[in-house]
Structure 1
Amino acid sequence: MEDIELMHSLGVNSYRFSIAWTRILPRGRFGDVNPDGVAFYNAIIDALWQKGIQPFVTIFHYDIPHELDERYGGWLSPEIQKDFGYFAEVCFKMFGDRVKFWTTINEPNLLTKFSYMDGWYPPCRCSKPFGNCAFGNSSIEPYIVAHNMILSHANAVSIYRNNYQGKQGGQIGITVSARWYEPFRNTTVDLLAVQRAISFNAPWFLDPIILGDYPPEMRQMLGANLPNFTSKEKRKLQATKLDFIGLNHYTTVYLKDCIFSPCAVDPIDGDARVVSLAERDGVLIGEPTGTPYFYDVPHGMEKVVMHYKQRYNNTPTYITENAITAWPPMTSLTMQEEFIISVATSLFWPRQ
C-alpha cells in the first residue's frame, strides 16, 4: 500500500488500474472465483477510499484465461462474449459498491492489431505482409476479434445497466488509443489518408458502440472482411450507450497515402493503406521522447479531444492516459514540467 500513501501525499484524487481476469477467474466461467484475487482488489479499493482517492477501474487490460484460448480460440470466437459478461458481472458484484467508474476494455484497437495483425502480443497471430507468424490471418482475424470485443463490451454494459447501475450509481465506458494525424502534404490523397487512418483507429470501436456501425471508410476498404452486425446486435448496441469515452493519447504523426504511391508496411496504421512519418522536409513533427515513434506534439491532444467531442455529440470524455518517456532518465523536472505546461496551454489557453 506504499504506492497509495505516495499518491495521497501528492494530492492525487483518482487512480486508474485494471483487474486481472486471470486473478479473479483463472479458468473463466469454467472454474471458481479465486477468493485471494477478490481479497487483493478489495484491499486496494478500500485503501484508496480511505485516502480519498476515487478508483477508476478497467475490467480487461489484455490478460485472458488460457483455458478460453484452449477451449475455443479466445477472442476469435463469439463464445468469449459469454465469458466476458460473466467476468464483468463478478467484478460488479464484488467491487461495484465502491467503484463508480468502470471501463470495459483498455485500448482494444491496439490489442487487436498488435495480437492479430502484427503478431507482437499473445497469441501472436499474423500473416504477410504484416508479419510472418506460424498461425493467423492479418486480413481477417483483427476484424473478427474487434467484432467480438465490441459485442462483449455491449454485453457487459447491458449487465451493468440492467442489474447494478441503479443501485450502485456508477458509470461505464470504454478506453481507446487515440493517435492524431497530420497530412504529410496538403494534397487530396494525403488528406483522405488522414480520414482513413482516423476511421481505422478509435472510431473502429467507438462508431459501432455510439453510432451503431463501423465507419464507412472501413466498409469501403475492407468489404466482406469486415463483419456485419445483425439487427439484434444493432438493437443491443443502441440500448447500451456508454456513459463516457476514455482517450489514451501519446503522439501525433504525419501520414502519407499508400493507395496511389508505394509504401513500406506500417505496423500500426497500414491496414488503412497509409504510412506514418515523423518528419517533413527534415523537420521533426515534435520533440523525440524515450519511446520510439512517440513525439511530443501538444496540439495533437487538443485536436484529438475536439474531433471526438464533435464526432460523438459531446459525449463526456476523460483523458485516461497521456505522458512522455525520457531516456536516459531525467535528472531534473525540466522536461516533465515543459511537457505539462505545453499540453495544458494547448488545451486550455485558447479557450480562456
Structure 2
Amino acid sequence: MAVQNALCKSSILVSESSRCIHQADFSSSQEMLERRRFDFPKNFVFGTATSSFQVEGASREGGRGLTIWDHFTMTPGKILDNSTAEVAADQYHRYKEDIELMKELNMDAYRFSIAWSRIIPDGSRRTVNMEGIAYYNRLIDALIEKGITPYVTLYHWDLPLTLHESLGGWTNREIVKHFAYYAEVCFASFGDRVKHWITFNEPAVFCLLGYGKGVHAPGRTSDRTKSAHGNSSTEPYMAGHNVLISHATVVEIYRSKYKSKQAGTVGFTIDCEWAEPLSDSIEDKEATERRRTFQLGWWLDPIFFGDYPALMRRSAGDRLPHFTEDEKLLLRDSLDFIGLNHYTTRWVTSQPAPSDPANSDFWWDQGALTTVEKDGVLIGEKANSCWLYIVPWGIQRLIEYVWETYKVPIYICENGMDDCNNLDLPLGHFLNDSRRVNYYRDYLKYVHRAIENGADVRAYFAWSLLDNFEWAEGYTSRFGLYYVDFTTQKRYAKDSAKWFSKFLEPKVADPCQ
C-alpha cells in the first residue's frame, strides 16, 4: 500500500553488515515477552508484504508494459518529490537477497502482487509475456525453497496503461473479461504452488483517489484544476461496481476450473479505518454506522448478501449501479477469506447532506465527518503520513466487528506505520525506530485479544518488508522493516526487523519440564 498518501486517508474513509538481526537484544522488554508467536494459534501465519509497482523497479525490462502509474509519475506535479518507480527497491533483480531478509525475520509467508503488465503487457487477451511468467516462477520457487509461503495479490493498483487509454479503465464493464483472462493465466501458471490468492487490494483507494479525487492514477476527477476528465459523483461507484463483478467472475473461474486440482483459496482485501462516535449523541452514532457501511459494506455486503447496503442506496440513489440477478448470484459467497488492511482509527461526527444532492459524491453521501481530536486530545500519536495516527485498540474493535458481521476467516494483510524520509538525518536515526517497534507490539497485542474473544484471524502481514515507492508521496515516506538506500540499494535492518526476528522465534522446550 500502504498508503493513501497525497490525500489524508480521513477523506475516504550503520553498514551493510547491520542486516544481521541478532545484534540487538529485546528480551528485556517485559511488554514484548507478554506475547510471542507461540501465544498465537498453532497454525497462525506471520508474514510481510509489498506490491509489485512499489518494489520491483525494472519498469522497462523483461517485456513489462507501461501502467497507469508509470504514466502518472511522469506527469509533472503528481508525485511529491517528482520521483518515479523505474528502479524503486530493485526487487526484480534482488529478490533472492530480499528472501534472505524474510528468513532473518523468521517470517512464514510473503504477500506480494503480480504486475498485470509484466504478464500481459497491454492488459488485453492477445499476448502473454513469457519473460514475466518466468520471473514470477523464479520468485515463487525461491520463496518455497526457503520455506516461505507465497500469498499473491492479482491487482495492486497498477492497471496496464493500454486498458485505461482504450477502455477508460475500471469504469468500463469490458475490463471484466480482460481481468478474468489475466487471472486465469496466473492460476494456470502459478497455481500448482500458490495456494492463497487475493483478487484486489484496497479497491476503495484506487476507485476513490484515482477516479474521484484525482490524486492517484489515473488522475480522474471533477476538479478541473487537477484534471480535464472525470466525474467524481459517479465514476468511483462505476469503477467499484466493475471491480466487484471482476472479483466474482475470477473466483468462479478458479472454483470451477482450478480449485479441485490446486486446492487453493481466494480472498478480497479491503482497507478500513476503525470509526468511533465523537460523542454519545444519536446523530454521531448514526454517522459512525454510515462511515463503517461505506468502508466495509460497500464491498462486503454484495459478496455476502447479494447487494449494496440499503443505506448506501438511499444516499447515492442511481449513481450507485445496480446488479442483475445473475450478478447477485455470482457475487454471493465469492470469497474464502476477508483481507483487512488497517492502520488507524478516527472519531466520527455527523455531517449534513449537501444542498444539491445531484452534485453529491462518496464523501458527502456518507453524511459523516472524521476527526483525530476529541476534547482537545489527539486520538493517538501521529506517524509521518497525514492520515496515520497510532491507535492500537482500533484493530481489535475492527476485527471483532467484521467477524461478528460476516463470520468468515480474516487475514490482516497490511498493518504498519511510516517515518519521514529526512535525508539530513543520519542512518542511525532511521534504524533506531523504537516507535515502529512499539506500534507492532501494541497492535499485535490487540489482534491477540480479538482472537481470544473468538474472532477467526489466521494471518498477519506487516507492511512493509522494505522502504519503497509510496505512490503519490514518492520516496518521502518510509514504512519498511528494512531501510533501503535508494542510491546504492543496500538494505539495513531497522530495530523493528530485529524485534520481529525475536518475536517470531520458535518456542524453546523447557529442559526442566
Q: Does structure 2 conserve the Cα–Cα contact (< 8 Å) formed by 1:245 and 1:316?
A: yes
**Equivalent residue number for residue 71 of structure 1:** 166
Query: Residue 275 in 1 paired to residue 369 in 2?
Result: yes
Structure possessing the higher radius of gyration over alpha carbons: 2
**Equivalent residue number for residue 348 of structure 1:** 448
SS of residue matched to 1:220: helix
SS of residue matched to 2:295: coil
1:315 aligned residue (396, 402, 408):
408
Q: Does structure 1 conserve the Cα–Cα contact (< 8 Å) formed by 2:350 and 2:367?
A: yes
Query: Residue 93 in 1 paired to residue 188 in 2?
Result: yes
What is the one-letter code of the residue matched to 1:216? Answer: A
Offset of residue 294 of structure 1: 0.7
**So what's the TM-score if we normalise by structure 1?**
0.93
Deviation digits for residues 169-192 of structure 1 (CA, Å, limit 9, x no counterpart) = 110011000111111222111111
**Equivalent residue number for residue 268 of structure 2:** 174
Query: Residue 254 in 1 paired to residue 347 in 2?
Result: yes
2:338 aligned residue (245, 248, 252):
245
Offset of residue 241 of structure 1: 2.3
Deviation digits for residues 250-295 of structure 1 (CA, Å, limit 9, x no counterpart) = 1101112111799xxxx98544132211111210001111111210
Of structures 1 and 2, the one scoring higher in RCO (CA 8 A, sep 6+) is: 2
Deviation digits for residues 285-309 of structure 1 (CA, Å, limit 9, x no counterpart) = 0111111121010111001100110
**Equivalent residue number for residue 45 of structure 2:** none
SS of residue matched to 1:33: coil
Structure 2: distance between partners of 1:52 and 1:331 = 27
Query: Residue 229 in 1 paired to residue 329 in 2?
Result: no
**Equivalent residue number for residue 162 of structure 1:** 256
What is the one-letter code of the residue matched to 2:256? Answer: N
What is the one-letter code of the residue matched to 1:322? Answer: N
Offset of residue 93 of structure 1: 0.5
SS of residue matched to 1:28: coil
Deviation digits for residues 135-157 of structure 1 (CA, Å, limit 9, x no counterpart) = 11111111111000000001100
**Equivalent residue number for residue 151 of structure 1:** 245
What is the one-letter code of the residue matched to 1:341? Answer: R
Offset of residue 23 of structure 1: 0.6
**Equivalent residue number for residue 38 of structure 2:** none
CA RMSD of aligned residues (A): 2.1
Deviation digits for residues 3-35 of structure 1 (CA, Å, limit 9, x no counterpart) = 001111221110000000011001223431111
**Equivalent residue number for residue 56 of structure 1:** 151
Structure 1: distance between partners of 2:115 and 2:188 = 16
Q: Does structure 2 conserve the Cα–Cα contact (< 8 Å) formed by 1:109 and 1:202?
A: no
1:14 aligned residue (104, 109, 125):
109
Structure 1: distance between partners of 2:303 and 2:378 = 35
Offset of residue 110 of structure 1: 1.4
Could you list the runs of 5+ residues in structure 2 that have no partner in the other structure?
1-95, 356-360, 423-428, 454-513
Which moved further from structure 2: 321-330 or 135-144? 321-330
Structure 2: distance between partners of 1:226 and 1:108 = 16
Q: Does structure 2 conserve the Cα–Cα contact (< 8 Å) formed by 1:269 and 1:276?
A: no
Offset of residue 236 of structure 1: 1.1
The structure with more helix, counted as a fraction of residues: 1
Structure 2: distance between partners of 1:344 and 1:70 = 43
Q: Does structure 1 conserve the Cα–Cα contact (< 8 Å) formed by 2:274 and 2:345?
A: yes
Structure 2: distance between partners of 1:230 and 1:82 = 17
Query: Residue 109 in 1 paired to residue 204 in 2?
Result: yes
Offset of residue 64 of structure 1: 1.4
- The 3 A distance-change label for structure 1 pair 260 and 73 is closer
Q: Does structure 1 conserve the Cα–Cα contact (< 8 Å) formed by 2:124 and 2:163?
A: no
What is the one-letter code of the residue matched to 1:72? Answer: L
1:122 aligned residue (217, 237, 244):
217
Offset of residue 335 of structure 1: 1.6
What is the one-letter code of the residue matched to 1:125? Answer: R
What is the one-letter code of the residue matched to 2:163? Answer: L
**Equivalent residue number for residue 37 of structure 1:** 132
Could you tell me the percent identity over the aligned residues?
Answer: 43
Structure 2: distance between partners of 1:180 and 1:260 = 22
How many residues are matched? 346
Structure 1: distance between partners of 2:272 and 2:430 = 26
